[in-house]
Structure 1
């Protein structure tokens, strides 16, 4: 659950979901016949669910549990996890924060890996710290994740020794503890010292009924983190890191028998303490009636209401439990589809609304309604979200709604079934982790798929219509209201707020399900033929050039069984919009994408496309416009129909335009309250030389925008397809999809205008610039250091920038985090592009205490200076090369990589075959080459420092 975080609002782009086929050409791209679905129905009796026969589950004499599964996706890789039933709820009063601190110390010295030797060893083996090697601590568990290559036997087998070191041999060197205090405090600063944290401290006791969970947030207490003695954290580790509370999970491309032997060898010596503490199971006690908490903060930009009705927790263990899980999934989908429809009206009652039933904290489930109100319209928002629950309770759902929900549920389970031999190992890990921690059943995809097929149509409308009444209650309920300080005077009191909730659904009427039986297309476009067909044997690609000028690059793969990725682009974008029409042009694609197509508004289209596995969306960037899409092979034609329609029959919907304009104005109204938003707006302004096109839209510009201008610009950008290049990657054959390409892409309008983009020179200004933003009451600073300049875009130079990025990242983690203890997660991001002009940027960012800004900036420049003087250390180059080689090997087996790579190669006019020599080209990276790169790209001649500091007192 996401406690009291800002709700992510996608206010300017509505997502197009699925698709359906009506008109057809002769051939369909059918996936390979393996994994043919079964047809066995399973009666929904309350029998205990089986255990997937593909997983080996065992227990050592000392009580440690293990899960082992051979899985070939990704090839030559394995996921090793150590799961501990040891979280923050187990801490004594003087240990608050030490469950999480223990997790940190596991990376700072163990019996076999003193100090930072473990991280150093793994990085040299191609494992990236943070991105791959990681861990987390929650209320009830601490989990360590270790992805490893399996084609290097010594490294793979060493992984089990590493897990065993975490499980029982952490050193807790007092000197390392003292160094890590600053890192943990900086993690707390990074995630806290803000409005969310301040409000969370006030709302959690109400939300969690003053239970142990409300008093044991994993980050802990600052004074304890600063002052605890080593004996205190050692006591936590000795009490709770013990074999009978631990599990090892290993899933990957390996021999299961060898893995089982390694687990026994490494973990059998672990012993439980002589006097074991009982592992108390904490709960959240029920509350009679309703508890209300209203809180405000000067920096909170939204008004958010939450209604949480707590219920006894459930764990899926039987077929009856599983059947109820299916019902809940259908219920949540149907109810939220209705809430989404409200956002498509010209005057939506809220900015965001969602209601669902699911897992909650402390062995509870909860029926949670959350709504983000527009300024001054809290009553309207609360009553609207309550009304939808009441509508469902009083009148139920319609048969057509239920059938659509069932179709969509079958799409999801069917996709998982068809991809079962391509399922990433980490997904199995998550299932086994839940099984160990909560007892959640792991019947396997074969059972689950057949259960759905055999039982989902047994779910009746009466079953669904009874659910809202079971979920809604005024008992064991918490109501939370969070708002900006400036609105405090206009907020309701507790009595008024509860009255809104009580009366919210008084006048509701039954839901009317408006659907259309019209086809997407009345007839197939005649299209045009392929004029030229080229093949690249090295990459396995085929390029078609159609008579209307459209190009299509096709790469059939077997990386996924049920996926085809589609993208199309042409040059132009918003760079061709005048300054006066820019705001309208910039809104054009998201508005059109959320307006439906042809004669179907978005709500009608969503319903028509139920039960189809695809997504199609147009976009317009600064230099290009295009289409982004994906589809299962069975729904490929529908995706092509939608692509055709987004070119030829985009829909102009005034209601969608008005709704989006109103929502955007509402968000802009309070944006200036949030220090992070103010800082990022300043960053965007400075880095783009105050060009309004790259800055947050102002109200005057927004008010000057019109739907007519947006629609007209969209039509211009998609009115000539002759300059478009499409890529297709996935499970198909060229012969199977070629007719679709010729009919639908070949039928697109073509005027041969030969338009291209304009270079507007929107880029960081030259010179040395420092910009400080004083905003926020928390003792918290953010720093960005941006180096930039012209760039010779070429593979050899790109590799050197990539290497310099990772080397600098390694050095700043060592210096700023490990040595200075001044930051939690420094970041280095290098980017380079050829379009609209060849440029590069290096961005170094970190959060820290305000008093440490100057010291840490100086330390950063010192590390850069060392590389400029001597180049990178050979050991650091070795780490980058290992990580890059491993990463490339994995990417070359992923559809998403090829879809992006082929498109970018086409845009940049590059030979795509160069990817085949990328790993061998890593030999070009040397201490001298990194020295040269650092002096060239980090010279400091063009350096912008952007600093967020608290408000001056």
Structure 2
């Protein structure tokens, strides 16, 4: 441990002390006030024509329940959707659907240990009257009808069942250990099954009337509204709500968890890992000193992750094999450090983790590392643009999150000034001391182990890890300066160009590649690039399918353009750039996310990835290790066993549609992955590029010509196939099943396999999205609302882009004894859809789709994903450029006719189940 305190460190500490008691000022753009009855309102008005978002927050959660009321806060939240003064039964959901909103994303609610929050995101300000009607009902007009209470019990028990797993995720287990000695351990917001089942309308009303009182309520409104009009709405609808006597709850902070070493079986799907949980004390951001401390916590967490990722890459083969962050549990903050690794390399990985943490604790960081977490003056422009671009639902979510953490919602200029002031206090001495403080306490150390590991050996390694963590750390060797790539070997030119719209340019490069550039000022500093084509695994002969899972990782882990894998990782981090592959059965693409200032670097990297892969045996070995571990874990999981035994049979175990076996991965050669790369980026492909950002078209045109136009595409070394025309396995049994579920849980699924050929067009894609919304509504009404069998039954299209034949699926997690009933109800929905859909159903679902597709330019990431999908699949982008015109051109009759076609008698229906061991399949 360092014992010397430098003058610079003393200066830093003195600077922090001078700010520590300064109170934080709330954003002046927020108008906050109180009614006479105690209700607090928060309004953020915008002069833009934006949607309107509302939140109704109550200081009532599971901590406010008595021992006989477990789960009541959550139960009352459910009942707000089941009948009130202005809305019978599910009337609020029916109304929201009629205006284009969707249950889940746009209208919802959630309950925590200290709050209940109701969520409404409206498409515009024309529906505020109905919104305030519902909020008035929530306040003091819920029916809490006895029959509706009984019906809702099945739904809540289903939610409880879905949230309970015998083998918990690592984060859920760590959370439960953190709160084990606190009140929260007995106050899970969802409650217990006995408490849920014994609830009555009378007992729920007692909780409702005690805690739903105006002095405990906060109403938040953001968007295209007038402050005075909203205040009038609030006064009219909620001003007569009578003030109660229940005092505001005190803040509860969980006690400090004891330092210990804990061994726990890992979820098969997650794999082996080790985690370190450091207690950082009670959550506090009431003044500048506390806020600065929080930011330094977050900054040092980033530095820890960056260092560990670099050190572990050569062991795990995963750039994202480390998860580091600050999280809260019961008003107490924790630094969580989690390393994921192959089970057979546990000792090596855990040694690297503890030696790195000890080195950072005892040797600190250098100036370059500190520079990576500072904010600079040019951040002002970026953050102002970010704030200006916030959607109402994002701004209100930020406010709600801050409110629930007890933090003020800071104004843009205040936050920028504080960030820059905080940055000026940073130097390597102060940050190093902060790291020492964070990492000097003894953490809770968790070891998550797999079945094929020896438990006693894992325990010995974990104890040794805990001991070695407290040993003196060693100085880290120098890693050199900034990383640079080799220069692009060939330049190209633009040979043709056209302007599709004022903001959409299309350039044809000298090598035949089409580049579509969507200039979007709302993208601000972000640039998203997607390079790809339709084809995917369906292009490959069977012996190369396993290589398609390995190729992307091997490409990165083998090094590129004069840099090894660690160098490429640092190159990306230094440039705030992320790159990832997308390979599906019918499409392949390369995605890049970068900052506009590093756009040339990102394009140069893309050139090297396509033009000059440098596959090595070492890179392939690391890729095999990573992919084999992931696939082995999945195949051993409940979902993996179901897919292998049931789901993959729907397509005759077509290798393009399933995960390869570990044996196939192990036998893949360097020549195989090279062949896959050749197929995907060969002369025969119709490779396209979609870019969205806020760049000068002329500047970007020169950059893509230089970096992408110079790529020389070769002939593929193997013949390309096209097995997308493979049909469903129509000779399958009508009932499939497996017994791999946990005790007390069951999965019911129904698959509709149709020989109807897909007309691959944007219009059909839109129609199928509309049908999905109609089918989902029918399933929710039948399985959840009427029969109370499941919390979240769903439906989804089974066929994927560019498949020749269509298919549909319905699924629900249920009580095993109700599994057949669920599939009976699913089949009823199918029979109903086979008769067609009503004009009203088609209109409502079309309105929902219309609203869902508004503002595609608000998020560059989302815009790139959806536009590149349509472009690569050959559907064109015209339908997306004018969503309203596209939807207006689809008639209810067309929607109904397609429903009859897909779900009619010519389709095969397969029932499927996953039941607990020892429970017979229903049929």
Partner of 2:411: 444
Q: How does 1:592-741 map to 2 (within 5 A)?
A: 592-652=555-615, 654-671=617-634, 673-715=636-678, 717-718=680-681, 720=683, 723-741=686-704
Distance in 1, Cα, partners of 2:867 & 2:261: 55
Distance in 2, Cα, partners of 1:734 & 1:307: 48
Partner of 1:758: 722
2:492 pairs with 1:528 = yes
Distance in 2, Cα, partners of 1:794 & 1:826: 29
Distance in 1, Cα, partners of 2:279 & 2:16: 31
2:290 pairs with 1:315 = no
1:190 to 162, 165, 168: 162
Contact 1:549–1:722 under 8 Å retained in 2: no
Distance in 2, Cα, partners of 1:487 & 1:518: 39
Q: Secondary structure at the match of 1:582?
A: helix
Q: C-alpha offsets along residues 138-163 of structure 1, whole Å, 9 cap, x if unaligned?
A: 11111111000225x2x133212222
Q: Secondary structure at the match of 1:271?
A: coil
The gaps in structure 1 that reach 5 residues or longer are 1-40
Deviation at 1:577, TM superposition (A): 3.7
Deviation at 1:562, TM superposition (A): 2.1
2:747 pairs with 1:782 = yes
Partner of 1:285: 255
2:99 pairs with 1:120 = no
Deviation at 1:906, TM superposition (A): 3.6
Partner of 2:12: none
Q: Secondary structure at the match of 1:466?
A: helix
Distance in 2, Cα, partners of 1:205 & 1:901: 39
Aligned length: 899
Q: 1:903 to 1:438 in 2, by over 3 A?
A: closer
Q: How does 1:30-45 map to 2 (within 5 A)?
A: 45=19
Distance in 1, Cα, partners of 2:821 & 2:38: 49
Q: 1:666 to 1:350 in 2, by over 3 A?
A: farther
Deviation at 1:625, TM superposition (A): 4.0
Q: How does 1:762-911 map to 2 (within 5 A)?
A: 762=726, 764-767=728-731, 769=733, 770-789=735-754, 790-830=757-797, 835=802, 837-869=803-835, 871-891=836-856, 894-896=859-861, 898-911=863-876
2:120 pairs with 1:140 = no
Quick check: 159-168 or 926-935, which moved more? Answer: 926-935
Distance in 2, Cα, partners of 1:165 & 1:672: 48
Deviation at 1:846, TM superposition (A): 1.2
Q: TM-score, normalised by structure 1?
A: 0.86
Partner of 1:35: none
Q: C-alpha offsets along residues 231-260 of structure 1, whole Å, 9 cap, x if unaligned?
A: 222122122222222211111122233223
2:80 pairs with 1:80 = no
Q: C-alpha offsets along residues 752-776 of structure 1, whole Å, 9 cap, x if unaligned?
A: 8899762354553225542101113
Q: C-alpha offsets along residues 728-752 of structure 1, whole Å, 9 cap, x if unaligned?
A: 2231332232211222222221458
Partner of 1:31: none
Q: 1:437 to 1:227 in 2, by over 3 A?
A: same
Deviation at 1:472, TM superposition (A): 3.3
Partner of 1:586: 549
Partner of 2:4: none
Contact 1:391–1:509 under 8 Å retained in 2: yes
- Note the aligned Cα RMSD (angstroms): 3.4
Deviation at 1:850, TM superposition (A): 1.0
Contact 2:61–2:111 under 8 Å retained in 1: yes
Q: 1:134 to 1:461 in 2, by over 3 A?
A: same
Partner of 1:213: 184
Q: Secondary structure at the match of 1:817?
A: helix
Deviation at 1:471, TM superposition (A): 2.1
Distance in 2, Cα, partners of 1:611 & 1:497: 33
Q: 1:518 to 1:313 in 2, by over 3 A?
A: closer
2:294 to 325, 347, 361: 325
Partner of 2:7: none
Q: C-alpha offsets along residues 764-812 of structure 1, whole Å, 9 cap, x if unaligned?
A: 3225542101113421111222223322223454444333222121111
Distance in 2, Cα, partners of 1:349 & 1:149: 41
Contact 1:419–1:562 under 8 Å retained in 2: no
Distance in 2, Cα, partners of 1:865 & 1:952: 32
Deviation at 1:133, TM superposition (A): 0.9
Distance in 2, Cα, partners of 1:833 & 1:202: 36
Distance in 2, Cα, partners of 1:588 & 1:201: 33
Partner of 2:237: 266
Q: How does 1:222-237 map to 2 (within 5 A)?
A: 222-237=193-208
The gaps in structure 2 that reach 5 residues or longer are 1-14
Distance in 2, Cα, partners of 1:241 & 1:705: 62
Deviation at 1:206, TM superposition (A): 4.2
Deviation at 1:308, TM superposition (A): 2.5
Distance in 1, Cα, partners of 2:310 & 2:724: 39
Q: How does 1:9-408 map to 2 (within 5 A)?
A: 45-46=19-20, 47-71=22-46, 75-151=49-125, 153=126, 155-196=127-168, 206-273=177-244, 275-277=245-247, 279-286=249-256, 290-296=259-265, 302-346=271-315, 352-356=321-325, 358-372=326-340, 374-375=342-343, 380-406=348-374
Contact 2:879–2:886 under 8 Å retained in 1: no
Contact 1:80–1:248 under 8 Å retained in 2: yes
Deviation at 1:923, TM superposition (A): 5.4
Deviation at 1:304, TM superposition (A): 4.4
Contact 1:81–1:143 under 8 Å retained in 2: yes
Q: Secondary structure at the match of 2:372?
A: helix
Q: Secondary structure at the match of 1:50?
A: coil
Contact 2:24–2:286 under 8 Å retained in 1: yes
Quick check: 367-376 or 856-865, which moved more? Answer: 367-376
Deviation at 1:434, TM superposition (A): 3.6
Contact 2:675–2:716 under 8 Å retained in 1: no
Distance in 1, Cα, partners of 2:537 & 2:97: 42
Task: Report 1 or 2 for greater relative contact order, CA contacts < 8 Å, sequence distance ≥ 6.
Answer: 1
Q: Secondary structure at the match of 1:86?
A: coil
Partner of 1:33: none
Q: 1:897 to 1:604 in 2, by over 3 A?
A: closer
Distance in 2, Cα, partners of 1:474 & 1:541: 55
Deviation at 1:61, TM superposition (A): 2.0
Partner of 2:531: 568
